[in-house]
């Protein structure tokens, strides 16, 4: 199995960083982490458009939640970290972060929800700036690398008519599905990227200047109450692009292929959401992965049949290499999809398109 393609965000961000004059007081006003000291708390996500979702089991008293919030150095947040707030009946709470110099503020919208294991990709929004927005899923458990392409557009390296990951009305069910497409790349600052592959994954994205694959923080908490993952299923439609190119842009006599898999891995008992994740390299090699359900076009473990609107319905059993042990470990799960399997090598075919819909992980109860 090849590594997945999440490529240029950290490098571009690093290259675009310039020296600025030291300020006596910081202008930063951001929430950098949020958690809840409550046994019903499961996970959190911090989206690029400054929305935060806290996930709880059905045992939580949502009227009395006390988020513990870490902010950028010197800044303050209101309501304060540790204050008890009411999230019952779908209430959203605004958290206002003020910079150390008191001149800058950011407002975060925080809401709560329950863990879902079926994803229909119906609801989308945007992140980025007003001048350069890019699409993301409203379900903040999912991330993609559109922000990298946004930066490439900003510096004039490319001018595509779409982003690698966005919604499409070509769906198996409902109005929308997720469309991942490999785009033609270009020269960005000092680096040349022949392609930008579309991608989608359960986890977070944080730029790493030295290693793009380390930018991924894969996995969402998978509590015992949800059960043991047994099957990964859903619907997809795939069409490879007409011309496969290598890492230097040379034409190669090869047909592009998609990548799609789910993986379950263990972490230390009580590990906080932003610690002990797996990244784009370790998800493939770590012995912490105890179960995997991976799509291969010729695998006897993958069951497929025709679905609605030209989609293919797939069912993949999880293959376990370890035993679930919730007494000593917690567990996290991820789903990863890419329109070009070898995109991490900057190899693939421009135009390769993977559409996914109604992805689901079926679990059996754990007694």
Query: Which CATH number is 125's domain given?
Result: 2.60.120.890
Residue 16 has pLDDT above 60, yes or no: no
Residue 9 has pLDDT above 70, yes or no: no
19: confidence class by pLDDT, cuts 50, 70, 90: very low
Please give the average per-residue pLDDT across 311-321, as a whole number: 97
13: confidence class by pLDDT, cuts 50, 70, 90: very low
Please give the average per-residue pLDDT across 266-285, as a whole number: 88
Q: What are 136's two structure tokens?
A: 């993301």
Residue pair 198/351 in contact (Cβ under 8 Å)? The answer is no
Residue pair 168/179 in contact (Cβ under 8 Å)? The answer is yes
Residue 14 has pLDDT above 80, yes or no: no
Whether 1 maps to a domain, the answer reads no
- With b for 16 or more beta-carbon neighbours within 10 A and e for fewer, the 52-84 pattern comes to bbbbbbeebebeebebebebbeebebebebeee
Please give the average per-residue pLDDT across 289-293, as a whole number: 98
Mean pLDDT of the chain: 88
Residues 126 and 108 in one domain: no
How far is the C-alpha of 273 from the C-alpha of 352, rounded, in Å? 33
Residues 143 and 99 in one domain: no
Q: Is 12 or 339 the better-scoring residue by pLDDT?
A: 339
Check residue 1 and give its pLDDT: 46
Residues 195 and 55 in one domain: no
Domain final residue, candidates 69, 98, 113: 113
Please give the average per-residue pLDDT across 12-40, as a whole number: 72
Q: CA dist 136 to 92, 110, 124, 166, 184, Å?
A: 20, 17, 6, 7, 20
How far is the C-alpha of 5 from the C-alpha of 332, rounded, in Å? 21
Whether 2 maps to a domain, the answer reads no
Check residue 24 and give its pLDDT: 67
Phi, psi of 30 (to 5 degrees): -135, 150
Please report which residue ranges of the chain form alpha helices under DSSP H: 9-16, 146-154, 282-285
pLDDT over 70 for what percent of the chain? Answer: 91
Residue pair 177/170 in contact (Cβ under 8 Å)? The answer is yes
**Residue-range definition of the domain harbouring residue 313:** 9-15+116-364
**14-18, 50-54, 215-219, 351-355 — which is least confidently predicted?**
14-18
Q: Which residue, among 320, 311, 314, 319, has the nearest Cα to 302 in the 3D structure?
A: 314
Q: CA dist 160 to 187, 251, 350, Å?
A: 14, 21, 12
Residue 4 has pLDDT above 50, yes or no: no
Residues 108 and 120 in one domain: no
Domain final residue, candidates 80, 113, 146: 113
Please give the average per-residue pLDDT across 196-222, as a whole number: 81
Q: What are 294's two structure tokens?
A: 């991976």
Residues 153 and 281 in one domain: yes
Residues 50 and 179 in one domain: no
CA dihedral for 43, 197, 246, 298, sign (positive or negative): positive
Specify the CATH number for the domain of residue 77.
2.60.40.2340
Check residue 60 and give its pLDDT: 82
207: confidence class by pLDDT, cuts 50, 70, 90: low
| Residue positions counted in the chain | 367
> What Rg, from alpha-carbon coordinates, does the chain have?
21
Residue 153 has pLDDT above 90, yes or no: no
Whether 240 maps to a domain, the answer reads yes
Q: Enter the pTM of the model.
A: 0.78
């Amino acid at each position: 199995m090849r590594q997945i393609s999440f490529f240029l965000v950290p490098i571009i961000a690093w290259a675009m960083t310039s020296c600025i004059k030291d300020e006596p007081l910081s202008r930063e006003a951001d929430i950098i982490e949020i958690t809840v000291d409550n046994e019903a708390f499961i996970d959190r996500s911090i989206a690029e458009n400054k929305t935060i979702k806290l996930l709880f089991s059905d045992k939580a008293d949502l009227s009395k939640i006390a988020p513990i919030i870490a902010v950028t150095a010197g800044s303050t947040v209101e309501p304060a970290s540790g204050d008890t707030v009411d999230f019952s009946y779908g209430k959203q709470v605004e958290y206002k972060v003020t910079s150390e110099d008191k001149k800058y503020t950011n407002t975060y919208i925080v809401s709560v929800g329950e863990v879902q294991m079926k994803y229909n990709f119906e609801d989308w929004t945007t992140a980025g700036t007003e001048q350069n927005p890019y699409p993301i899923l409203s379900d903040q458990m999912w991330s993609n690398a559109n922000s990298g392409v946004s930066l490439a557009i900003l510096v004039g390296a490319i001018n595509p008519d779409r982003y690698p990951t966005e919604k499409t009305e070509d769906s198996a069910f409902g109005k929308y599905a997720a469309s991942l497409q490999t785009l033609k790349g270009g020269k960005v600052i000092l680096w040349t990227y022949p392609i930008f592959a579309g991608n989608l994954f359960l986890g977070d994205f944080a730029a790493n200047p030295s290693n793009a694959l380390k930018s991924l923080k894969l996995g969402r908490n998978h509590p015992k109450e949800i059960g043991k993952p047994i099957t990964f299923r859903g619907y997809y439609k795939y069409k490879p692009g007409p011309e496969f190119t290598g890492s230097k842009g040379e034409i190669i006599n090869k047909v592009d292929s998609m990548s799609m898999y789910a993986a379950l891995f263990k972490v230390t008992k009580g590990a906080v959401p932003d610690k002990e994740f797996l990244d784009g390299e370790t998800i493939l090699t770590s012995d912490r992965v105890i179960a995997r359900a991976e799509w291969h076009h010729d695998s006897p473990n993958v069951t497929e049949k025709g679905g609605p609107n030209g989609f293919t319905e797939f069912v993949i059993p999880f293959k376990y290499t370890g035993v679930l042990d919730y007494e000593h470990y917690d567990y996290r799960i991820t789903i990863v999809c890419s329109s070009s399997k070898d995109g991490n090598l900057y190899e693939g075919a421009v135009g390769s398109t993977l559409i996914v819909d109604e992805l689901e992980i079926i679990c059996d109860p754990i007694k």
